[in-house]
Chain A
Amino acid sequence: MSPVLVSILGSAIKIAIAVGFSLNLGGLLTWLERRQMAMMQDRIGPHRADIKLGGKKFTFAGLLHPAADAVKFFFKEDFVPPNADKLLHSLAPMLALFPPLVLMGVVPMFDTVCPESLRNNLWHEIPRFGTCAMASTAKQLGPISGQVVDINVGILYVFALAGMGIVGATIAGWSSDNKFSLLGGLRAASQLVSYEVAMGISIVGAMMVYGSLRLDEMARWQGENTWGIWVQPLGFILFLTAAIAETKRTPFDLPEGESEIVAGYLVEYSGFKFAMFYTGEYIEIVISSALVTALYLGGYNIPFLHRDGITLSLGDDILWHKGLPHLVVILLQLGTFLGKVTVLCWAQIFIRWTLPRFRYDQLMKLGWRMLLPACLVNVFLTGIALLAFDRSSPATHDTFQVIGDALNWVVLAGMVFFPLWLVWGMFTPSSFISRRNELRGRRSAAAAAAVATEEASAH
């Protein structure tokens, strides 16, 4: 195959993965959200839509509800208020859906692929360090990066496009010719502007540590050292908070308020235009999860999985090494990334259905008086720590490397044992667990009784 064809094919596959994943997961999230909140609130959730196949009814655990929703949105009346600005009213949903769809383009989904090495042998292994050979002749295949677009100011592109979400909401609020819409649009605009400031500064600490604005280099740093959440714990919490606020969901769902401004800037939208806003919101969840993953949760990395295979180590001591083919490593990384994003979406739904919403003044207070100073403190502390680290002795560097590897071990243990524990819990009868808990309770009661008798005898 010619190099041009390979690069076009690579881009097409990457676009298909990025857009297909975010659109499909966004659709699935509507189901997951309802079903999960039902489970959290001791209910069943949607489960009645069914199709008949061969005389039997199949509900697929309620998965047909999103499909039914989509059909409904298609056939509903597309209402435009009589005095509304028709052009802007139609433009707003596009502006709301567009940025989250293209944001996925800069998030690295796997490490750089070297097609040249795979030309002769599909199971070829490549060395851990060193980049792919650039195409020196016209016939050689150049490296394919893990992002759809390889921009060297990736994170700035993210902020630029995230800022466009405001435009969609504001235009929707203004063009609907409705007071509630206008108020909702205003609220959305001021909220998003406030939290974008905090979001932008919360990430500066991470940029200082990783030493790059490129998201793929950030992910690679985390693979070589340790996950960003360990070096930037405060930054992680601040960024996650700001990202949730950017998605306009509870506890930050002030642009909507049934008792105050009805549905905010969505009041006058129905049918497919509403569906575009709705989908955009869910894709925003996927995107914010992807960003948090890439910046703080190791991106596509599993601890100790490098470009050449698995290398278990602690500091400079290599405990075990197993080479893996390049293609297998890439696929593992892709699966890891998509899995992490899905789990983080799940966690975001948890946050959304657990926390009560803020009042509007509390929201602004939290944004400007708490998050922003905390972000600045984070930047300051990170700077001091980096300076101290740069001037410290090589022995200290080695100690930190050992600590980083130890944290990698913790993460690896969590990634292996948490799913195992979940599966074990699912397949163990409840009576077994309840009997174990009962035994534990009896033991602790006995211990408490022993303490009580000791105290009584002491008096």
Chain B
Amino acid sequence: MPQPLVGKIQYDRVKGTPVARPRRTALEQAYVVEVVKGLGVTMRHFFKNTKSMFRGERPDAVKDPLSEGITTLAYPEQKKVYPPRFRGVHRLTLRNDGSPRCVACLCCSTACPAQCIYIEAGEYPDGDNRRGYERYPVKFVIDELRCIFCGYCVEACPCDAIRMDTGRHAVPYDSREQFIYGKAMLMSLESADGKQLAENPRHEPPDPTHPGIDRLKGAH
């Protein structure tokens, strides 16, 4: 027969030093003096801020957001400055002739942990210099709702063809279809300083500046 546990458990008496309670003087207990002190604090803020609004000496909320006084940002008109390496919405960088730099190697879509990139590769048409060297994306689709903005696609890209330097954060649309960015949309986006090209120039295989081996040099 199991013994009832009740009465068997020995609780230790709680040992320890009592917490020191703040000692309040009679003046503090009287409440009125402390009220006046508190009013002094709020009044100081009130007069200082009213004066700064009245004189237009308010600190610049964009440049100096942590200063004293009113630093409210008037959002749609003023915007917070993002750090230079902020990862915004993707863009596809362009060549000088306006075609995408992307060679449809599928590195980005392979690296993407969210699997939000879909690329359909195609051959350049006959007569195009690039035919046989590289391919191009017939379709390049990014689902911005699936994207987790990790930036792996940018790291993976061997051609500097995809970048996240637009400085734009994900836009609130009202339907899911609008979040799916196609090739034209991605190519139309600019970097935060308004560029559509990449930083480093690309030397196409038929160019004299092309440093590597090409079809002629390779035909031995």
Contacts and interface: CB of A to CB of B under 8 A. Distances in A.
Interface of A: 36, 39-44, 237, 350-351, 353-355, 422, 425-426, 429-430
29 contacts: A36-B46, A39-B49, A39-B50, A39-B70, A40-B45, A41-B45, A42-B49, A42-B70, A42-B71, A43-B72, A44-B70, A237-B32, A350-B42, A350-B43, A351-B35, A353-B42, A354-B39, A354-B42, A355-B35, A355-B38, A425-B47, A425-B51, A426-B51, A426-B55, A429-B55, A429-B57, A430-B51, A430-B55, A430-B57
A39 B46 contact: yes
A39 B39 CA distance: 13
Contacts of B39: 350-351, 354
Contacts of B54: 426
A41 B38 CA distance: 13
B53 interface: yes
Contacts of A353: 42
Contacts of B32: 237
A428 to B, nearest CB: 9
B72 A44 contact: yes
A284 B45 CA distance: 27
B96 interface: no
Contacts of A39: 45-46, 49-50, 53, 70
Contacts of A354: 35, 38-39, 41-42
Binding site of A, secondary structure by majority: helix, strand, loop or mixed?
Answer: helix
A43 B52 CA distance: 12
Which of B32, B39, B46, B74 has most A Cβ within 10 Å? B46
Interface in B54-87: 54-55, 57, 69-72, 74
Contacts of A40: 42-43, 45-46, 49
Interface of B: 32, 35, 38-39, 41-43, 45-47, 49-55, 57, 69-72, 74
Contacts of A42: 45, 49, 69-71
Contacts of A36: 46
Contacts of B38: 354-355
Contacts of A430: 51-52, 55, 57
B168 to A, nearest CB: 24
A425 B50 CA distance: 11
Given A39-B50, A39-B53, A354-B41, 12 more contacts: A40-B45, A40-B49, A42-B45, A42-B71, A350-B39, A350-B43, A353-B42, A354-B35, A354-B42, A425-B51, A426-B55, A429-B55
A353 B39 CA distance: 9
A-B complex: 9 closest residue pairs judged by Cβ atoms: A39-B49, A40-B42, A354-B42, A44-B72, A39-B46, A40-B46, A354-B38, A40-B45, A39-B50
Contacts of A350: 39, 42-43, 46
Contacts of A41: 45
Contacts of B57: 429-430
Contacts of A422: 47
Nearest to B34: A355
Contacts of A351: 35, 39
B58 to A, nearest CB: 9
B57 to A, nearest CB: 6
Contacts of B72: 43-44
Which of A353, A354, A430 has most B Cβ within 10 Å? A354
A43 B70 CA distance: 5
B181 to A, nearest CB: 32
A355 B39 CA distance: 8
A26 B54 CA distance: 24
A40 B39 CA distance: 10
A36 B74 CA distance: 18
A36 B39 CA distance: 13
A36 B71 CA distance: 16
A359 to B, nearest CB: 14
B91 to A, nearest CB: 33
Nearest to B71: A42
Contacts of A44: 53, 70, 72, 74
A446 to B, nearest CB: 25
A355 B32 CA distance: 11
A39 B42 CA distance: 9
A451 B52 CA distance: 37
B83 to A, nearest CB: 25
Nearest to B45: A40
A350 B47 CA distance: 12
A36 B45 CA distance: 10
A43 B35 CA distance: 22
A426 B46 CA distance: 12
Contacts of B52: 430
A375 to B, nearest CB: 15
A80 to B, nearest CB: 35
B153 to A, nearest CB: 40
A44 B72 CA distance: 7
Contacts of B51: 425-426, 430
Which of B38, B42, B69, B74 has most A Cβ within 10 Å? B42
A429 B57 CA distance: 9
A42 B69 CA distance: 6
B61 to A, nearest CB: 10
A430 B54 CA distance: 12
Nearest to B68: A42
Nearest to A43: B72
Nearest to B43: A350
A41 B46 CA distance: 8
A425 B72 CA distance: 23
A429 B54 CA distance: 11
A40 B46 CA distance: 4
A430 B47 CA distance: 12
B85 to A, nearest CB: 30
A40 B32 CA distance: 20
